[in-house]
Structure 1
C-alpha cells in the first residue's frame, strides 16, 4: 500500500482550507488532477473518505476534519525541522587554532574575541604561543590555521597581510624617581636588541648596557615597573601596562614594528578562521 507523503498532506490541507480543488490548484501552481489524485491516494492509504463532494464545492467528512487538524500540526513540524537543519548546516562551529605571541593575544585580541563570541558562539579559539619562527612553523605545518607575527624578514612560503604598525617605547617604573635609565630590559628577537644597539650607538656613540634579556614584553614591562631597568616594548604594551611610564626618548620611537597576519592561503582557511580574521581586521 502506498503511504501518504508530505505533498499529499499539503495538497489536501490547501484544498480543505479553501473548500475548492480549483482554488487550491491555482494557489499551489499545479493542476487540479494532481490535487484530486493526491486526495484519492490519501483516502486509499487511510482507508476512509475525506471529502463529500457537492455540485460546486465539497465539505470534509469527520475523518477529513481530523486529518486537516493533524496535517496542520505535522506540516508545521516539518517546516520547523527544515529550518533547524538549515540552521545547523550553516552554523559555524568547532575549534580554531591561532599562533601568536602572548602579548598580542593579551592586548590586541579581547575586543575581537568578544565580537566572535557574540556572532559565532560555537567557535572555540585556542592559542599557540611562541617566537616568530615557532609561529611560522605552526602555520606552515597546519597546526595553526593562521598566525600573527612581528615581521623580521623570515616569512617565506606564506601569504601575509599587514594588520598594524607602530613604534617601540622606553618604559620605566612610575614609582621610581632615580631609576638608572641606561640599563635596558630587552628581547633578542627582532625588532629588539639589535635595533636598540644600532640606534643607541648612533645616538650616544657607545654600546648599550643590558640589565636583563628575556623573550617576553610582558615580563619586561613587569620588571620595568619594579625598577629593574628601562624596558623596550611596543606601544600597545607600554600604553596598557600599569606601574610604568613612558620615557620621552625620541630615538626609541625610531624602532618600528609591523604585525602581519600569515597563513597558507585564504582558500585553505575554515569559515571560523575567515570570520575571526574579518573581525580582527575591523578592530585593528
Structure 2
C-alpha cells in the first residue's frame, strides 16, 4: 500500500463513481481500476461494492477510509513543514469564522495581520460552528473560531473572547422600551433565525429545550444582512451577539433577564501541523482580543 493508492481510494470513496473519480484525478479510468484492484489484492480484502453506475464502500472499506484520510493529511502536513524549512512557502492561513464574527470582529484583525505579513495568503470561510468543527477535523481548515463548549476531543482550543447574546428589535418595536427581556416574552414573538448548525441557532435551541419553550420562527436564513433588515422592518426580532448591534443603525439590543454570555475560542486539529503562518495568525488574534 502506498500514498498514491490511498489517495485514489479516498477520492473514489468520496465521489462514488470510477469515471468521475478518474476525471478528478486526471488519469484514465482503467488506470484507476487497476490501482484500486492492486490495493484490494495487497490487503486481500474487497473495499468496494461494484455495480453498473454507482459504487459503495464495503465494511472493510469503511474501516480503511478514516485511516487513509488521516495518513494523507499527515503526509500533507509533513510537506508543508519541510517546505517551510527550505523557505519555499510564503505561507497560507485557512480560517473558518461564524458569520457574526466574520462581519464585525475579524475584518480589522485580518487587515492588520495582512499589513504586518504582506506575503502571507489569508483564506476566510464563513460557516456555522458545526461546519467549522468538521472542516477542522477533515483538514479543510487550519484554524477555526468556535464556541468553547463541547469541543471535540480531536481539536485543541484557546479562549479568545467572551460576548453577550442579546435580543435585537427595531427602534420602533414595542419591546424597545424594555431594559431586559425574559425568554418567555422573547420566544412568544415572531423570530428570524440562522439555520441549524450556527452557534446563534444552537443557543436558541438550547434555551428552548432548557425552558421547554416553542420558538415562533417565521424566517430562517444564514445571511446576516437579511436578518438585520427583517428586524429593522419589524417583521420579526432575533438574538445576536451584542457587538453586532454596536455597529448597526435602526436596531436596539435588549439583554436577556437571564444573561447569556458565550465563550468564543480559536481551535485547530490536535494531531495537525500548524505552519508558521498559522501560529503567527493565532498569536496575533489573541493579542487583538479584549
- In the TM superposition, residue 94 of structure 1 has moved relative to its aligned partner by 3.3
Contact 1:92 1:123 in 2 (8 A): no
For residue 137 of structure 2, the aligned residue among 126, 137, 140 is 140
Match of 2:230 in 1: 223
Measured in 2, the distance between the counterparts of 1:256 and 1:199 equals 16
Q: After superposition, what is the alpha-carbon deviation per residue over 1:196-246, rounded to whole angstroms, capped at 9, x for unaligned? A: 425766xxxx64433323345543233212212111111122222222111
1:108 lines up with 2:105 in the alignment: yes
Measured in 1, the distance between the counterparts of 2:151 and 2:223 equals 20
**Match of 1:227, SS?**
coil
Match of 1:170 in 2: 167
- In the TM superposition, residue 133 of structure 1 has moved relative to its aligned partner by 2.0
- In the TM superposition, residue 123 of structure 1 has moved relative to its aligned partner by 0.7
**Match of 1:268, SS?**
coil
- In the TM superposition, residue 270 of structure 1 has moved relative to its aligned partner by 1.0
Match of 1:280 in 2: 285
Contact 1:150 1:258 in 2 (8 A): yes
Measured in 2, the distance between the counterparts of 1:146 and 1:193 equals 25
Match of 1:209 in 2: 216
Unmatched tracts of structure 1, length 5 or more: 1-88
Contact 1:217 1:237 in 2 (8 A): no
Match of 1:29 in 2: none
Greater relative contact order (CA < 8 Å, ≥ 6 in sequence) = 2
Label 1:192 to 1:265 Cα distance change in 2 as closer, same or farther (>3 A): closer
* Pairs aligned (count): 189
- In the TM superposition, residue 157 of structure 1 has moved relative to its aligned partner by 0.8
Contact 1:221 1:238 in 2 (8 A): no
Q: Which has the larger radius of gyration?
A: 1
**Match of 2:206, SS?**
helix
Structure 1 vs Structure 2 CA RMSD: 2.9
Unmatched tracts of structure 2, length 5 or more: 1-85, 177-185
For residue 203 of structure 2, the aligned residue among 192, 217, 222 is 192
Mapping of residues 257-272 of structure 1, within 5 Å: 257-265=262-270, 268-272=273-277
Contact 1:166 1:234 in 2 (8 A): yes
- In the TM superposition, residue 158 of structure 1 has moved relative to its aligned partner by 0.7
